[in-house]
Structure 1
Amino acid sequence: MKLPRLIPAALVSAVLAFSVAACGSDDSSDTADTTGTAASESGTAASESASWPVTVEHALGSTTVDEKPERIVVMHEAGIDPVLSLGLEPVAMFEIQGGDDNMPWLKDRIDWPEDAALTADRTADPEAIASYDPDLIIVGDVYVDDAKYQELGKIAPTLVYGWPADGPAWQPILDGVATATGLEDKAAEVKQRYNDRIAAIQAQFPGIDKLTYNSAIMNQGQLMYTTNSVFEDLGMVQTDAQKAAGARGTISLERLDELDGDVLVIYDPSGDKKILEDNAQFAALPSVKNGSLIWQDMALGYAVTTASGPLSLDWAVEHITPELTAAVK
């Protein structure tokens, strides 16, 4: 349920993290069901046996939660999946950049405000947040500095998380929210189901865990490496060239031969695709020749890295099965 769009919730850091994911099966509805209704029922029982206060570690230190939270405000793109997977619902969340079509796996679930004012000008707005009377705040590190964190802490216990370069953002958030709400056992179940799903994908595509990949964003005629947490979960590894360049390393258009992974993911928000397609080195890349090149859109980037999690995995895998099939042949 959207509120009026006052200021778009742009997220440059999230765009730079966009990448792609895995393959799927007919288990998607089962995954969603077991992470929804069942989570809510067993999660309630688990939280009733928990006790407070509890201390939660996060990116900016530790926060004490004195009592069970009931009104959660989420301002982290990867935070909504863990909250819902635990059977919880926020009282408000960030506005999805580009609209709900960019998180289509949540379309039938969102029944609370998406408020652009929460992170207007890419900064957490204490007044907008306080209007929801929260007792727990989940916020991305791109929206707060130390001073803003202290300010939010006066409103409600605040947990700050980033987007790790070496793993999924959703799992630390899941652990933190579970600790705060007394749902640690439920969090363990959520992670086990996710790991089982990853194993099923690996079994469906034998050898996927032996593949290498490159992932990059094409912006204003320049390529910059990006991460892909789902590929990493599937056992795929970055090429040596990407590892050596590091997070946000750049690739010269004269050295496109460095993009020699079994799978190549390109996000092209500026519409510069033709620059690459007209390049002879690009045309000669293994992934381009073998059909394992993926042109990523914003929704897929959300699904596999920026806002990835158990709920988005099966949506993502349905969209790149042909490319992964080509890669494991």
Structure 2
Amino acid sequence: MKHSRRAAALTALAVAGATALTACGSDDDANDTATQPTGGPFPVTVEHAYGETTVESAPQRIVTAGFNDLDFVLALGETPVATRAFSGYDYQQRPWAEGYATDIPEVGEMELDYEAIAAAEPDLISATYSLTEQAGYDTLAALAPTIGDLTDGQGGSASWEAQLETIGEALGKEQEAQELRESVDADFETARSENPQFEGRTAAVAMYMDGSFYILGEGDPRGLFFYDLGFTAPDETGEVSAERIDLLDQDTLVILGATQEQLAADPLFAGLDVVSEDRTVYLGEFGNDVQGALGFASPLSLPYLIDATVPALAAASDDDPSTAVPTVG
């Protein structure tokens, strides 16, 4: 699948990013007079799980404190002065971000290093998918205007579209964000139109960890990718006990964290129709590029992920047991 539209859009965004002007102050400085770019969108106010944050002027020193916020900021033509490391994956070598900065200073991994964030002297902290508690958000907000976690309103994380829209607003790049969304949406639409059998087909997207399975729900960005392709979530998601391994037996099964060879020795798993009839897609062990792209769930990684997974998903969803499902990851 070609992505010339997106490549052109990202090139334009990179050029546009070089024109960002004027750092913004902290929340305590919200009433101070600030230099505004002529005709620019600032000040802007964005909403998140912990309230509202006003960005007074175009940020110049952005820290990405969310697990995947880095990709969103890069895609909009800005390079953070510091970022949260992506755990369990060599994210600096991720193939979907070639051409972007890779040596960005890190401010924590699973846990944030608040002292390092303060030392980076941010004028904006993007933490839209950071899974912080109120206390963590308050600590960040005391350092600089902070965009806190976004939710779907039902206890799950917000979609990539919501992240892109919110970060675009905070950076004063609403139009660029909209154009980028339309480009990625077009890639999803192409995948759906070329594979109409995806629509309405149940898919259990299951992580395999420590000998157990866990089915991802619609509130998890990793599961949402497959549902955006047209698949639907099973009625029951969450942890799968050995007694209820039949919950994996859906129209299609996607396995995260294990290879086909690793699971072949499990008689309960091997006995599922979805496995024996070759309707299962294995994304391999955690830490590979496909798993990383799924975890980032960003405007940069999603098109890469579509290219990497759709051929296997199509083979696993054609209801022809003689079709070999290609290896992914």
2:67–2:130 Cα contact (<8 Å) kept? no
1:52 aligns with 2:42: yes
SS of 2:125 mapped into structure 1: strand
- 1:324: which partner in 2? 313
Change in 2 beyond 3 A, CA 1:109/1:321: same
1:265 and 2:239 equivalent?
A: no
Aligned mates of 1:48, 1:233 — CA distance in 2 = 39
TM (norm. structure 2) is 0.77
**Equivalents in 2 of 1:294, 1:225: separation in Å?**
14
Aligned with 1:293: secondary structure? strand
Question: How far does residue 42 in structure 1 lie from its aligned partner after superposition?
Answer: 5.4
Separation in 1, partners of 2:136, 2:247: 41
Question: What is the 5 A alignment of 1:60-209?
Answer: 60-97=50-87, 98-100=89-91, 103-115=94-106, 118-119=107-108, 122-139=110-127, 142=130, 144-161=132-149, 169-209=159-199
Corresponding pairs, count? 292
Which whole-Å deviations, capped at 9, do the CAs of 1:187-241 have from their partners, x for residues lacking one?
Answer: 1111111111111111222222232100122222222222412112112101223
In 2, Cα distance between the equivalents of 1:142 and 1:75? 6
- Which AA in structure 2 matches 1:36? L
1:11 corresponds to which residue? none
User: Do 1:219 and 1:268's aligned partners in 2 also have CA atoms closer than 8 Å?
Assistant: yes
| Aligned 8 A contact 2:59 2:124 in 1 | yes
CA deviation after TM superposition for structure 1 residue 307, in Å: 0.9
Query: In the alignment, which residue of structure 1 is the partner of 2:200?
Result: 210
Q: Which runs of 5+ in 2 are unaligned?
A: 21-36, 319-329
Give the Cα–Cα distance (whole angstroms) in 2 for the partners of residues 63 and 131 of structure 1: 21
Question: Retained in 2: the 8 A contact 1:71–1:135?
Answer: yes
Residues 324 and 148 from structure 1, CA distance in 2 versus in 1: closer, same or farther, beyond 3 angstroms? closer
For 2:225, the equivalent position in structure 1 comes to 230
Q: Mark the CA change 1:313 to 1:31 in structure 2 (over 3 Å): closer, same or farther.
A: farther
Cα distance in 1 between the residues matched to 2:92 and 2:243: 36
Alpha carbons of 1:272 and 1:127: their partners in 2 closer, same or farther (altered >3 Å)?
A: farther
2:135 alignment partner AA: A
Partner of 2:283: 295
- What is the deviation of 1:289? 1.6
Q: Structure 1 residues 132 and 79, CA, compared in 2 at 3 Å: closer, same or farther?
A: same
Going from structure 1 to structure 2, the CA distance change for 1:66 and 1:34 (only over 3 Å counts) comes to same
Partners of 2:65 and 2:105 in 1: how far apart?
A: 10
Partner of 1:13: none
Q: Which has the larger radius of gyration?
A: 2
- Distance of 2:290 and 2:150 partners within structure 1: 19
Larger relative helix fraction = 1
Could you say what the CA RMSD is over the residues aligned between the two structures, in angstroms? 2.9
What displacement does 1:282 show? 3.5
Kept in 1, the 8 Å contact 2:9–2:179? The answer is: no
For the residues of structure 2 that align with 1:143 and 1:293, how far apart are their CA atoms? 29
